[in-house]
Structures are given as C-alpha cells and as structure tokens.
Amino acid sequence: MPERVLVIGAGGFIGRALCSALLEAGYEVRAASRAQQIPLPIGVETCLVDCKDPTRVVPLLKDCHSVVYLAATSTPGSSAGQALAELDGNLRPLLALLEALQSHAELPLLYFSSAGALYGDNKLAPHKESDLATPKSYHGASKVAAEYYIRAWACQYGGAATVLRPSNVYGPGQPQRTGFGIVPNAYGAMLRDEVLTVWGDGTAVRDYLYIDDLVALALASLKQPMTDGITVFNVASGEAASLNELFALMETVSGRALRRQYDRGRAVDADRMEIDCTAAHDYFNWTAHVSLADGLERTWRWLNTTPQ
C-alpha cells in the first residue's frame, strides 16, 4: 500500500506544491488546512480543520506514515508588534500536534522552519545550522521556540524529526499578497504599473530559493529514514543577491520597469542573509538546481499565462 502523509498547512504556497509532488511520487496525501483558499490537487484527501486542539488532530494521524508541518500565519514584517498573535497563530497548532504525537511517536515529523528569520544579523555568514539563532522578529522567535518544542517532544517520547530551514522561497503558484513574497508582489506591480514600496535602500542581501528545489529536498527527507531526535538542515540556493540586484534581474526578465519607492528600513529585517547548505548536500546529496535568473523567468511566464 502507498504510504500516507499528513500535511498540516497544505493550503499555502509551499503546501500546495508539496502535495502535488507527493502525489506524483506515489504517496497518499491527507491535507489539513484552516480554509479552502485554493483547491488542492485532485486525489488529495482534504480536511478543513483548525488544528489548535490535540483531540482534533489525533484522528488525522490514523493510518499515516509521516507528518509534515508547514502551517504559518505571519512573516517577520507582519509579526511586528504582534507577539500574542504568534502564540495563537503559529505555536498553538504546532503544540497541539506535538501533544497528539505523544501517543504516535513512531510517526516521523518534517517541520518547515525559516533560515531567513532565525539567523538575524549574525555576521558569520554564510550561516550554518550550528550558528546561534538571533531572530529580530517575533515570527523568527516563534520558529526558534517551535524547534525547541520539537526537540523536547523527540527527547521525551523517542520521536524523530527533520527540520528544514528554507531561505526566501518563490516560484509559480505563489500568490500576490502584501508582505508575503517580494517576487510576486514586485512582478504584480510591474503588471499593473504600480509603485512598489521597498523597506530600506535595496542593499539588503537575501538568498532566493526556487520552490521546486525546496520540494525536492522535502521529498528526499521523507524517503530517508529519520534518526531519533531532531536533525536540522538549511535549504538555500547559494546565490545571494541584494534587493536592487533582484529588481534589475526581474526587469531584464520581464522587459518592464519596476517603479519603486524606498522607505525607511525596518528593525525586523536583517541586512545580509547568506545560507550554508553543506549539511543537506552531504546527507541527501541535494543541491539547488534552478538559478535565480531561470526561476524568475519561469515565474514571470507563469504569471502571464495563469489567471490570477
């Protein structure tokens, strides 16, 4: 029988892409989401449930072989001044899952954390998994707390968990939503000839990871037996670029100018974020294959051929 994977947070950009890839790889997929925002692929068993109560999560675990958790309700920017919202929106559903998993510790857990939100302004770039987490936002702090809660669950109940820390993920399927993803929002501004507000002077450096490369590592993580405890892997393209460099490349790809207005930088944003992925390469033989130029071209083509 095919293995069944429970995906919590399946309605988001990464969740939908992962569900499609899991089906193509021969898995059965049970998807839990708070709301049916965008239809999931045909063949996915969809469960509309708010996973903040362990008693509502336990039935979802029946006949499953592994669990993927990527539910999130915020970004570093949107979490500013909203500490309690992080507790209710991001930590409470995870803690409910961990309580449910106390009686199902045999199920391996794949958790999506965040490289961009954890490392802050640590100057020892490129950042390794062993670097001290120094989050500048409540969103990043909640990701750090989540990793430690998972570590405690694994320690107490003999569970096994893999944590992926992706950099800034983009690609086809990512919706245009203010504050969530610079690539779709910048392209959207180009298409509508609108002005894009940029926090800071555009020199902030980020690593932009194409969605297919992240999904490939997630699949590799699920195929490989997880060891007891928690293992953490950075996931990034290895091709860091400043915002201004990103915009210039997007203008080249699209053939359009991006009108933008620079505003004062935000305290939640790190100046430079470069990520070391040696561990993922050594353990899974994984490397990001889609260059930034190619990924931006694929995304632009999708935006121009898919009804939004």
219-228, pLDDT tens digit by residue? 999 999 998 9
Which residue is associated with the tokens 């390469």? 281
Determine the average pLDDT of the residues in 164-179: 91
pLDDT digit string, tens, across residues 85-142 = 788 888 999 999 999 999 999 999 999 999 988 887 666 679 999 998 888 888 889 9
Domains and CATH numbers, the chain: 4-170+209-238+276-288 (3.40.50.720)
Residue with tokens 């996931």: 235
> What's the pLDDT score for residue 41?
82
Looking from the CA of 127 toward its CB, the CA atoms found within 13 Å total: 33
pLDDT tens for 257-308 read 999 999 988 888 888 889 999 999 999 999 999 999 999 999 999 999 887 6
Residues 6+ apart with CB under 8 A from 117: 76, 135, 137, 139, 140, 143
Task: Please state, as a whole number, how many other Cβ atoms lie within 10 Å of the Cβ of residue 36.
Answer: 11
Reply yes or no on whether the pLDDT at 8 is more than 90: yes
**pLDDT for position 218:** 98
- What's the one-letter identity of residue 144? V
How confident is the model at residue 122, as a pLDDT?
62
Mean pLDDT computed over every residue of the chain: 91
Whether pLDDT at 152 is above 90? yes
Cα diameter, the chain: 56
Q: What does pTM read for this prediction?
A: 0.94
Contacts of 46 (CB under 8 A, 6+ apart): 10, 31, 33, 36, 40
Residue 275 neighbours by CB under 8 Å, 6+ apart: 115, 119, 126, 127, 165, 167, 207, 234, 235, 236, 238
The amino acid occupying position 190 is M
Q: What whole-number percentage of the chain has pLDDT above 70?
A: 96
Could you tell me if 308 and 176 are in contact, meaning their C-beta atoms sit under 8 angstroms apart? yes
Q: 126: cis peptide before it, omega within 30°?
A: yes
